[in-house]
Structures are given as C-alpha cells and as structure tokens.
Structure 1
Amino acid sequence: MRHTRATVMRTALRLLNEVGLDGLTTRRLAQELDVQSPALYRHFGSKRELLDHMAAAMIEDAFSHLARPGPGQDWADWLAERGRALRESLLAHRDGARLHVGTRPVGSQIAISNSVIEVLGEAGFPPADARRAVLVISRYTVGWAFEEQAGHPMAEEPREAADADFEYGLRAILAGLRANLAGVRAGLGGETR
C-alpha cells in the first residue's frame, strides 16, 4: 500500500499521542502503516526530517485560523494570540513541546514566521528586532509548554493557575517589546547586531 507524505506524518502525530516521543520509532510507524521501514524514506530522508515536519504541522494547525491583524488591532494583542495558539497546539500533543525543541523550521513554518516578522515590521520594528521578537515569544512558549509536559511541579497546578502564570510572563515579554519599540521610535535603540 502506498502512502502519501501527509498520511505518514498524520499517522506519526497520532502515534506520538499514543506512545510518546520515546515510543515513536520508524519501525513502529512502519508497522502502523503496514509497510517496511525503508518505505518511509521515500517520504522523509530521516527520522529528524519527519520530526521537523511533524513540528511544522503542529504550527500550521495552531495558526491556520489566525489572520493578519484587523484594522486597529494592537500588534501586541495579535502577537499574544499567536503565543497562546502555539502553547495550545503543543499541549494538545503528547510530548508536543519536546518534539518541537530542536526542530528546524520547514515548509509553511518559515512562511508563518516571515508573516509575523512582516506584521511586526509594519508596526515599526526594525527587521532584526522583529525576528528577535518572534524568537522570544516562540522560545518562551515552547519552554513553558515543555515544563508543563515534563512533569514539572507547576504541571500539577490547576489549569487556570498555569494559564494565569503563562499570561503573566507573556504580558511581561510584550511590555518589554513595547518599550523597545518606543525606544526605536524615539531614536534610542533597536536593531543591534
């Protein structure tokens, strides 16, 4: 039976939820698809490439319903929506954050990041600062979700408390970005190498 790349990836995501990242082997995936392991390499050159595409699919799912900012929408509120959507997507998959850590951006994930950088540029961020803002929000969110899924003591908190704590950190980062942008507009900083 021939499978498409999308079928292989979606099956891998389903298996991730069932057996976790440690249990997700190419052998197990091949058995699930009723093929020999080498057949998987027709679609993905390595397990690392498969994991990269699985992480990208999670990002695509998270951001598929999010549009560019509406008229008058604050860039910080818009960026916060993306942070929340990323966290929810990572938490929706067993070991989702752990899978995402260390993956390389591929496919539409690059276009999504570039779109966010473009929106921040339109808000007044110099290109390097816009790129850094995306990295800061992404790394904060992935790290937060990683801790939530890793059995960290905060994972035992009620969901409402974890949400409130996440929001506190997100607001702090956005306040810092807003202050940085004000400094750029006043000619006091921005885009350093």
Structure 2
Amino acid sequence: MATRRSPKLDKKHVVETALRLLNETGLDGLTLRAIAKELNVQAPALYWHFKNKQELLDEMATEMYRRMVDVPGATGGADWRERLLAANRGLRAGLLSYRDGARVFSGSRFTGTLHAVEMERTLTLFTQAGFTLTQAIRATSTAHFYTLGFVAEEQGVQPMPDERREGYDMDERARRMADFPLSAAAGTEIFEDYERHFEDGLALVVAGIGARYGIG
C-alpha cells in the first residue's frame, strides 16, 4: 500500500527539523528514522520529499546557505579582498552554528539557483578587478576550501562553541610530547584560539592570491 503524504509535512519543515536535530545528534546520528520520529510520522513519509539522506543533506546545506546570506554584511565588500574576507568569515560563522556544519556543507549540491546570485556578483567583481574568469574561480574556490577545511578541523576539536573533545588538553599534550619541544609548544597554536588562527590563515590566502596573480 502506498504511503500517503501527511498534509502537515512539507519539505521546509523537514529540513528545519533536521537542522535542529543535527545540533543534538551530530551528522552520524542524524537518520531519516530519527527525523520522522521527531515529526511524529512514519519514515516512509519523508521519501515523498527526499529519495535518500544525501538529498536531505543537499537541502540542509542549501538552507544553511540561505541563512548565511541573510546576515547583513556576510557576503559584501567593495573590492575583491573585502569580498573574500567577508564571504569566508560569514561561511565560517554559519558553519559553526551547527554541529558537524562543515561536514554537512562539504560535497553537498545546492538546490535551486540562490547561490548563483552571489557567485555572479563575486565573479563580476573579480573580473572587473583584472582577474580572468579562471583566476577568479581559482581564487574564490581556494579561499572557500580553506574555510571548509579549517572549520572541519575546528569542529573536530570543538563540536560546538561551548564543547571540547577529550584528548585536547594542552598541558597533558605538552607532557606527552616533552621530548619534542617545538611540537609540544605548537599545540596551543594549532588547537586553541581558533578565531585568530583562522584570520591569520585567511590573510595568508588573500595575500597569496594577490601575489600569484599580480593584482592589487
């Protein structure tokens, strides 16, 4: 017998519920069954909207992006450097709002064309500044990948801003690596003060782009 669609169940509600549960369970614990239970429906009812978990993740990533670009100043900037800085700061802030946010976002396929609006603006800004289209894509995607990778590592240590996984106590790490003084001292640079670490790395990326393509 075919599953009937619940009149109260729509795609937006499913995605909002999934994003809320994500913060409780993490990506590994986020199942269609768990979402259905939260919505008080049978799991097959979700297949009216999503064929599988990846389709749901695609829509979750798209909704995460919608929320990111709704934040004032998250994508703006008068020149290419300001645009890169704003966009990647906004991306990091948005991903940190969700447990495993970087894992959900990475590799997901946006639905619709909302992302093309900002992409077109960014590529226009870059090409007007003197980048070729290929250079503009390399520059923006490199900064984007830096941010995704950075947040993935950050969330591996701090799944949420107020949490920290066991095994990342810097004093204990320093004692364990006492025979390797530089490596021991590096711990606080790698695993603490992520805000400063991110900003320093992003500045390196932006400076490198300018130097590589000779564009001021």
The code of the aligned residue for 1:93 comes to Y
Give the alignment partner of residue 111 of structure 2, picking from 106, 113, 127. Answer: 106
Task: Tell me what 1:162 maps to.
Answer: 194
Residues 75, 90 of structure 2: 8 Å contact kept: no
Residues 21, 30 of structure 2: 8 Å contact kept: yes
The code of the aligned residue for 1:86 comes to L
Residues 15, 56 of structure 2: 8 Å contact kept: yes
Give ranges in structure 2 of 5+ residues lacking alignment. Answer: 1-5, 159-167, 169-187
Give the alignment partner of residue 47 of structure 2, picking from 41, 45, 59. Answer: 41
With 144-153 and 165-174 compared, the bigger mean Cα shift is at 144-153
* Superimposed CA distance per residue, residues 120-171 of structure 1 (whole angstroms, 9 cap, x where no aligned partner): 22222111111122211111001000001112857851xxx21111111111
TM-score between the two structures when normalised by the length of structure 1: 0.83
Q: How far, CA to CA, are the matches of 2:122 and 2:51 in structure 1?
A: 29
Q: How far, CA to CA, are the matches of 1:45 and 1:121 in structure 2?
A: 39
Give ranges in structure 1 of 5+ residues lacking alignment. Answer: 186-193
Give the alignment partner of residue 73 of structure 2, picking from 62, 66, 72. Answer: 66
Q: How far, CA to CA, are the matches of 2:195 and 2:130 in structure 1?
A: 29
Higher RCO, 1 vs 2 (CA within 8 Å, ≥6 residues apart):
1
Aligned-partner SS, 1:150: helix
Task: Tell me what 1:140 maps to.
Answer: 146
Alpha-carbon shift at residue 79 of structure 1 (Å): 1.4
Cα RMSD between the aligned structures?
Answer: 2.2
Aligned-partner SS, 1:3: coil
Aligned-partner SS, 2:99: coil
TM-score between the two structures when normalised by the length of structure 2: 0.75
Residues 74, 89 of structure 2: 8 Å contact kept: no
Give the alignment partner of residue 204 of structure 2, picking from 172, 175, 180. Answer: 172
Q: How far, CA to CA, are the matches of 2:108 and 2:136 in structure 1?
A: 21
Residues 75, 86 of structure 2: 8 Å contact kept: no
Task: Find the structure with the greater CA-based Rg.
Answer: 2
Residues 74, 86 of structure 2: 8 Å contact kept: no
Q: Evaluate the alpha carbon distance shift between residue 115 and residue 41 of structure 1 in structure 2; reply closer, same or farther with a 3 A threshold.
A: farther
Q: How far, CA to CA, are the matches of 1:46 and 1:111 in structure 2?
A: 28
Structure 1 vs Structure 2: percent identity of aligned residues?
41
| Superposition misfits of 4+ residues, deviation over 6 angstroms | none
Aligned-partner SS, 2:51: coil
